[in-house]
Structure 1
């Protein structure tokens, strides 16, 4: 009886609590299942979502305290929203010329990777290279630590971060002031994880691929990107050169977060990794690029990039976010694009950009809704642009915000922005062992990977200098032969503390010892 009753209840439920007519038949879709979303879009989905952007942006500006932001939306080939918020420079006051506009130029940081992938797709379409072209075909000097991988690693491998290089390989060399060629040549000294089955995000791996594509074209990467992408799209405020950003009158200065405020204290010159993080642009310009992506490489009446050359960049090439349980959706990386599936079963393309010294950016594309949004900010990343684009995506798909994106992204970025160093938060020894005499510590200490570290003494103060920048960092005694030093850079947030350990003619720098290469010899 219980089974019969349950079956009867199920029949009623499936019938919608009504008895269907005998001649009724369901409406069946003839669209292939992988293209069918879980639900239809709400009525006027994009228009209603756009109508809430002013409110969302204002709330996020107020709650985060970031100086400035610009936001734009493209739908059905047209820009349907474009607006600036806040200030370009907190020290210049709230005057008209200091307010962010749609044409204000921001540094894009890693959002540059998706633009770079589009540039490469143009070259793939032109037959100059293929996504499967080995780097050494056009960069015979390039090498990784495994000769077999060196011969095989392709443009696509680097653009999908599956070469086996360590996470963010080479970034700290860039922070020290080394140029692109020097950093790329040092990649051969780093250990490799399994080739093509491991994912680790690398700015300079992707940059190496960009260099190979540029070499195949016979021109510098910066000029190639301008010739095949920026100029054809009319992106007149977009460049892959830091000098061009510096020369813009209407630009948003980068602001680093200091305690609860933001200050424009540093400049971020990302020229060494231009393909991966060196682009600057405005949301006005980026709407033209987003429209190109939504149109599968078409611009106006011209097929600027063949759809078949662009498609590999926008589709999964490597697992970047493995699930932690069976029910969890997997995150993927294409070639320069994050690729995922939303809870509405719609494919989503995106990428963020982050400069500790003052840039946070994000774009998000939902191809099935023919809509894209981009948000640029001029502050240390705290998840603001990601929150805005995620709330917009929820509104488009569901008509309401379904997740607490503000808390989720705030917590995620707080972990990323945490100070580094094993001594962070630890009290200094109350009775430390005496330090060795300064005369026993000063000198030049050589390291084949990082170059020479120079320890100097002046007026009783020891300093450490390293790399082309040779910024002198004061050494503060901690205990015995252990000293500490601090500095702010793209990979060393405010509050970071590193150890410098002297042991005879050996000097080990904790911050530079991630891959076991932090020991210098006098």
Structure 2
């Protein structure tokens, strides 16, 4: 039975599966696991000591064969159709690769709910965090070309890189950042992206984010990952999207794949993202521009294109008889660099993170690689591979995360090995995602004002300009007798109506990928001012924007 891996995604609420990080000698990432073990000493006679010679490679007979895989492929239509019937998700596309052959590439459902255009194997989906293993493949090309090494400090190639601790700034390597071991906490920078700040602004403000222990903590971080991948692009003197296209997408013929949101938008055959609208109906309500975190979450592609990439992964960097990625450097991405989750029970396994991949080992000690992607605004994706069996599957959906692509991948691999699924994967993954949603509810229910709510003061107490070094300026004003606030980058601010809740606390609707309903704007008087006194508020704290203590705005 294939156990499903716990795979973090983009949404802050989906990124709480954290564990104690692991480091190698002197705290360095576990890169040695991918290096050749060569004898470096000699015996007394001058010949290599037998005890120092590398052990012969074990000849492990694959557990799968063509017939087993073909039988599982024959059941894929039913697996996918069952998922669609149970959830109503508008569209799904799936591809399977085995022994360098694409055995299955097919679309189901529609690109947009309520419209007739159907999904096929060339339909372009937003990948969310499946962008990460794509990005580490691009980085491996840069390393193979000697433009950068995994252990180069990022600041060597990206001089503007800075985190809160000067030691971490000086020493954090590309491998540290691609394995989520910089110390940046989960969600660092994500709320700036929700407010439409661009990549340059977000990366330049990460130095205000608090850090956990460098190289001995694991925190899944989109913008930490983005910083690491950007170092490879800087080393190659190319923008990230151009680099990926030049060294990976073009050599593989991935003509529908891009890290530019504009390319996704102009694709004629693209799936829109959807959120549930009740009673198993879905609506294409949002747009998700992830250019700011393009290496970590901004790619779009089709299953036909991704099947080519899976072939490359399973062939150790070769495609069409040519070396595209140095096999040793690609191998570095496939081994554990960090502990991403400790065993929940004595019989459970430790979970690991490589460079852009979740890494695990099954009952037969076979390597398993995978990653999920999730946009809370309406996309869910997953890729899973058994490299030793030369088998891989990718599933893309245009619906908010409910565990659907993960269940499809797990059910297929389970069926290939056991003849039929041994677990109700759709029930299992749905339960996991439901618990995540429940855990993400706001701590204060701002939809229900206290029975004895204190009145608000006059509008003059609240209106004005407030400053924050992380989020920038915030303006509170009055329109049609009601308060509102504006926040975000100049020329692209977001307006939030404020509704009175209790005393000097108002509620507003949170927005973006991390939105979780109503949040609070809590105004405060200057220190020592008596309640009900005149004057103006000295500050306002936005609890939604304050997960790490950066959400207080001070009157200018």
TM-score of the pair, normalised by structure 2: 0.85
Q: 1:499 aligns with which of 515, 520, 535?
A: 520
Given the alignment of the two structures, is residue 318 of structure 1 paired with residue 338 of structure 2, yes or no?
A: yes
Structure 2 residues without counterparts, runs of 5 or longer = 1-54, 526-537
Q: Is the 8 A contact 2:179 2:354 kept in 1?
A: yes
Q: Counterparts in 2 of 1:125-164, with a 5 A limit?
A: 125-164=144-183
Range with greater deviation from structure 2 (322-331 or 239-248): 322-331
State how far apart, in whole Å, the 2-side matches of 1:43 and 1:374 are: 19
Instruction: Describe how 1:258-407 pairs up with structure 2 within 5 A.
Output: 258-260=277-279, 261-407=281-427
Deviation at 1:417, TM superposition (A): 3.4
Residues in 1 aligned to 2:452 and 2:341: alpha-carbon distance in whole angstroms: 47
CA contact (8 A) 1:67 1:88 kept: yes
CA displacement 1:359-385 (0-9 Å, x = unmatched): 100000011211100000011111000
Maintained 8 Å contact 2:446/2:501 = no
1:467 equivalent to 2:488? Answer yes
How does 1:23-42 map onto structure 2 within 5 Å?
40-41=63-64
Question: Which among 82, 105, 122 is matched to residue 105 of structure 2?
Answer: 82
Aligned residue runs from structure 1 range 446-461, under 5 A: 446-461=467-482
Give the stretch that moved more between structures: 168-177 or 401-410.
Answer: 401-410
Q: Using the alignment, how far apart are the partners of 1:141 and 1:471 within structure 2?
A: 28
1:32 CA displacement: 5.7
How far apart in 2 are the matches of 1:324 and 1:90? 39
Q: 1:439 aligns with which of 460, 466, 478?
A: 460
Say if 1:42 and 1:396, in contact at 8 Å, map to a contact too.
no
Please state how far the C-alpha of 1:170 moved relative to its aligned partner: 0.4
1:511 matched to 2:544: yes
For the 8 Å contact 1:344–1:397, the answer to whether it is kept is no
Q: 2:85 aligns with which of 62, 84, 104?
A: 62
Deviations 1:332-364 (A, max 9, x none): 100001111234432110000101111100000
Distance in 2 separating the partners of 1:425 and 1:67: 33
Q: Check the 8 A contact 1:123/1:129 in 2, yes or no.
A: yes
* Deviation sequence 1:162-202 (CA, Å, 0-9, x none): 11101121000011111101101111111111111110001
- 2:501 is matched with 478
Measure, in 1, the Cα distance between the counterparts of 2:460 and 2:484.
Answer: 13
Q: Counterparts of 2:366 and 2:466 in 1: how far apart (Å)?
A: 55
3-state DSSP class of the match of 1:266? coil
Instruction: Single out whichever of 397-406 and 297-306 deviates more from structure 2.
Output: 397-406
CA distance in 2, matches of 1:293, 1:347: 13
Instruction: Count the aligned residue pairs.
Output: 485
1:45 aligns with 2:64: no
| Counterpart residue number, 1:26 | none
Distance 1:339 1:381, change over 3 A: same
Q: CA deviation at 1:479?
A: 0.8
1:415, distance to aligned residue in structure 2 (A): 3.0
Q: Which moved more, 1:425-434 or 1:333-342?
A: 425-434
Q: What is aligned with 1:10? A: none
Separation of aligned partners in 1, 2:437 and 2:482: 30
Q: Does the CA-based 8 Å contact 2:446-2:518 persist in structure 1?
A: no
Residues 63, 389 of structure 2: 8 Å contact kept: no
Say which SS state the counterpart of residue 377 (structure 2) adopts: coil
**With structure 1 as the length reference, what TM-score do the two structures score?**
0.90
State the distance in 1 between where 2:407 and 2:307 align: 19
Q: What's the offset of the Cα at 1:416?
A: 3.1
Is contact 1:452-1:466 (8 Å) kept? yes
Q: Deviations over 1:39-61 (max 9, x none)?
A: 93377221111111000000001
**Shift in Å at residue 263 of structure 1?**
1.1
1:190 is the counterpart of 2:209:
yes
What's the C-alpha RMSD, in Å, of the aligned pairs? 1.7
1:93-112 equivalences under 5 Å are 95=116, 98-112=117-131
Q: Does the aligned pair in 2 maintain the 1:41–1:398 contact within 8 Å?
A: no
CA apart distance, 1:140:
1.3
Structure 1 runs of 4+ aligned residues shifted over 6 Å read: none
Shift in Å at residue 155 of structure 1? 0.6
Could you tell me whether the CA contact under 8 Å between 1:422 and 1:497 is conserved in 2?
Answer: no
Q: Classify the secondary structure of the residue corresponding to 1:472.
A: strand
Deviations along 1:121-167, whole A, 9 cap, x unmatched? Answer: 11111111111111110111211111111111001111000111011
Secondary structure in 1 aligned to 2:473? strand
User: Does structure 2 retain, via aligned residues, the 8 Å contact 1:42–1:398?
Assistant: no
